Amino acid sequence: MIIRGMKTLIEGGWVVAHNGTSHEVYERGSLVIEDDRVVHAGGPYAGPVDARISARGKLVSPGFINTHVHTAGGGGDYLLLDMAKDDYRTANYMSFAAPLKGRMAPPPPEATAALRAYVFLHALKNGTTTVIDVGGLRGDWDGYARLVEDLGVRVYASPAFRDRDTYMDAQGRLTYEEDAAVGRQRLQEAVDFVHKYDGTAQGRLRGMLNAAQVETCSEPLLRAGKDAARELGVPIHTHAGGNLVEFQRIMEEYRRTPIQFLADIGFLDERTLLGHAVFTTAHPWPRYPFGDDLRLLAQTGATVGHCPYKYAKMAMTLHSLPRYLAAGVNVALGTDTYPLDMVAELRWASILAKVTDANYQAATPRDVFNAATLGGAKFIDRHDLGRLAPGAKADVLLINLDQLGAPIYADPIKALVDGASGRDVDTVIVDGRVLVQGGRATRVDEDAVYASARQATEHYWYQVPGWRWDGATVDRIIPPAFPLHRAR
Ligand SMILES: [Zn+2]
């Protein structure tokens, strides 16, 4: 156990150290941390220490930066699983974010708190040490900040804003309804959040802005959002190139692709993260091979938050991770929907790129590990995160590699990418504090957190027929794999 104020040596594992230019790996390496910082990463350490932790058979890795977390629980994610496949107009998030107008009630405060706690803990246990919260349940921001304080996680956040809400009409037709005043008010709420909470929780809660989606924000609101982010000195995210409805709406409204449009209005720079950016001029589905979105992304320095598994479930992927990297685009990884398993995302990112490019040499373990660490750190402009080097934050994962369920390996990074999952994460340290040990949360009763989140989610599912345009139940929207005899 690491105790703050003590100098602790983590020894005997495969240490992923950063040499100033790149990660490198030390067999039977040493990592020394003191308070919230790394003081040594690499080979043997001869100095005096107060405590020692054995990492034999484990990878000692920098914590992953998950650039796509929604702190809303997983109720909507479940609806997204199948529904996206047979109804083009409700593809992707519209399946649960376009209810009949005025019919979806926000969850009670205790459900919101339970779902947020579940999201943070679930992400932590699966290898995320820095959560980029790109929009979740609204309200009780003091409670949100208290949760970040209590759980010990590192978070970038503020409430998402938009001025075009999405609804279904009685025939299930997707409708966008614009209200500029509401958009300005929500942006102000986000700016207030940053003023109030940036730097709280011992510096672990940081501000960023979230323009919800490129097509749900008017051009003036996107411009105002980016201006506010520059003024505050914080990064900004929006979802763009995420689905074909969005791509076509932007084409119709601005006669440009989402990426071209965002570049033209000055939204893209090194402090901008685009969730997904799957549908670009490089992707075959939009059938719009004019211009060069990847070049624009590279020139502006914007980061693409790639969520490979979520997109694979919808039969989509980037075209392709190696092409983005070769064009000079900064790519980071995120999970978006469940499971929030950053270890598994490494494998999905690598394998999907190989299949997409029909090239087994594409998307190496090096590429995807860099995306999960340095890629996210670049967007938040943090040279002390996503790496283990003297002066870096003590955000560390100990991941079990030597076990019968794992391969026999020569290179631990390849073993991680090819064979591991979030359930192999043994220890999670954030800011020098052990938050997960032996695979269990140290600060909270994780079974109670799970039970509360499950209860809140089931409550949400029961309410689905009340706001769905066709009144369908969850089991009708997503038929179970086999006839399922529920107990209730
Ligand atoms: Zn998202």
What percent of the chain shows pLDDT beyond 70? 96
Mean pLDDT (whole number) for 65-79: 87
Q: Which of 70-79, 156-165, 422-431 has the lowest mean pLDDT?
A: 70-79
Ligand 1 mean position to 231 CA, how many Å? Answer: 25
168: CA distance to ligand 1 center in Å?
Answer: 20
Ligand 1 centroid distance, CA of 273 (Å): 12
Distance 443 CA to ligand 1 centre (A): 28
Query: Rounded distance, CA 297 to CA 193, Å?
Result: 29
**Tens digit of pLDDT for each residue in 92-119?**
676 677 788 888 888 899 999 999 999 9
- What per-residue confidence (pLDDT) applies to 1? 57
Q: Does pLDDT of 91 surpass 70?
A: no
Residue carrying the six token digits 């990660």 = 23
- Ligand 1 center–CA 276 separation, angstroms: 8
Query: Cα 234 from chain centroid?
Result: 17
**Confidence at residue 85, expressed as pLDDT on a 0 to 100 scale:** 54
User: Mean pLDDT for the chain?
Assistant: 94
Ligand 1 mean position, distance from CA 307 (Å): 9
| Predicted confidence (pLDDT) per residue in 304-350, tens digit | 999 999 999 888 999 999 999 999 999 999 999 999 999 999 999 99
**Ligand 1 centroid, distance to 60 Cα (angstroms):** 29
Tell how far the Cα of 78 is from the centroid of ligand 1, in angstroms. Answer: 14
Between the CA of 59 and the centroid of ligand 1 the distance, in Å, is 30
Measured in Å, residue 134 CA sits from the centre of ligand 1 at: 6
Q: Of 214, 182, 230, whose CA–CA distance to 381 is shortest?
A: 230
pLDDT of residue 95: 67
| CB-CB neighbours of 187 under 10 Å | 25
CA of 275 relative to ligand 1 center, distance in Å: 6
Q: Report, as an integer, the average pLDDT of 151-161.
A: 98
State in Å: Cα 484 to ligand 1 middle.
Answer: 30
Rounded mean pLDDT, 3-25: 94
pLDDT at 105: 84
Quickly state the pLDDT bin for 474 (edges 50, 70, 90).
confident
Name the β-bridge partners of 333. Answer: 306
CA of 214 to the centre of ligand 1 (A): 12
Please give the distance, rounded to the nearest whole angstrom, from the Cα atom of residue 67 to the centre of ligand 1.
10
What digits encode the pLDDT tens for the residues 233-248?
A: 999 999 999 998 899 9
Closest CA to 403 of 385, 389, 421: 421
Lowest mean per-residue pLDDT among 59-63, 85-89, 331-335: 85-89
Ligand 1 centroid – CA 135 distance (Å): 8
Bridge partners for 59 per DSSP = 14, 399
- For residue range 173-192, what is the model confidence (pLDDT) as tens digits? 888 999 999 999 999 999 99
Once rounded to an integer, what is the mean pLDDT over residues 249-259?
97
* CA-closest candidate to residue 305, choices 222, 362, 251, 238: 238
Ligand 1 geometric centre to CA of 126 (Å): 18
CB burial class (10 A; 0-12, 13-18, 19+) of residue 327? middle
Distance 263 CA to ligand 1 centre (A): 20
469, pLDDT greater than 70: yes
Q: What are phi and psi of 2, to 5 degrees?
A: -90, 130
Q: Is the pLDDT assigned to residue 274 strictly greater than 60?
A: yes
- List residues, by chain if needed, whose CB lies under 5 Å from ion ligand 1: 336
Whether residue 326 contacts residue 357, with contact meaning beta carbons closer than 8 Å, is answered with no
Q: Could you tell me the pLDDT band of residue 87, with boundaries at 50, 70 and 90?
A: low
| Range 408-435 average pLDDT | 96
Q: How far is the CA of 29 from the centre of ligand 1 (A)?
A: 37
pLDDT of residue 161: 98
Kindly tell me if the per-residue pLDDT of 88 is higher than 60: no
- Strand 425-430, strand 396-400: pairing: antiparallel
Residue 102: predicted pLDDT: 84
Strands 51-54 and 37-42: unpaired
Q: Are 42 and 106 in contact (CB under 8 A)?
A: no
User: For 189-244, how does the pLDDT look when each residue is reduced to its tens digit (9 = 90+)?
Assistant: 999 999 999 999 999 999 999 999 999 999 999 999 999 999 999 999 999 999 98
Mean pLDDT, range 149-155, rounded to an integer: 97
Say whether 442 sits in a helix, a strand or coil. coil
- Ligand 1 centre to CA of 334 (Å) is 9
Ligand 1 geometric centre to CA of 406 (Å): 32
pLDDT of residue 2: 60
Kindly give the distance from the C-alpha atom of residue 72 to the centroid of ligand 1, in angstroms, as a whole number.
Answer: 11
Would the pLDDT of 455 be above 60?
A: yes
3-state secondary structure of 244: helix
Q: How far is the CA of 278 from the centre of ligand 1 (A)?
A: 13
Residue 169 has pLDDT above 70, yes or no: yes
Q: Determine the distance separating the centroid of ligand 1 and the alpha carbon of 316, expressed in angstroms.
A: 15
Distance 422 CA to ligand 1 centre (A): 20
CA of 244 to the centre of ligand 1 (A): 15
Distance from Cα 122 to the centre of ligand 1, integer Å: 17
State what percent of residues in the chain have pLDDT above 90: 80
Cα of 339 to ligand 1 centre, how many Å? 14
- The alpha carbon of 337 and the centre of ligand 1 are apart by a number of angstroms equal to 8
pLDDT in tens, 343-401: 999 999 999 999 999 999 999 999 999 999 999 999 999 999 999 999 999 999 999 99
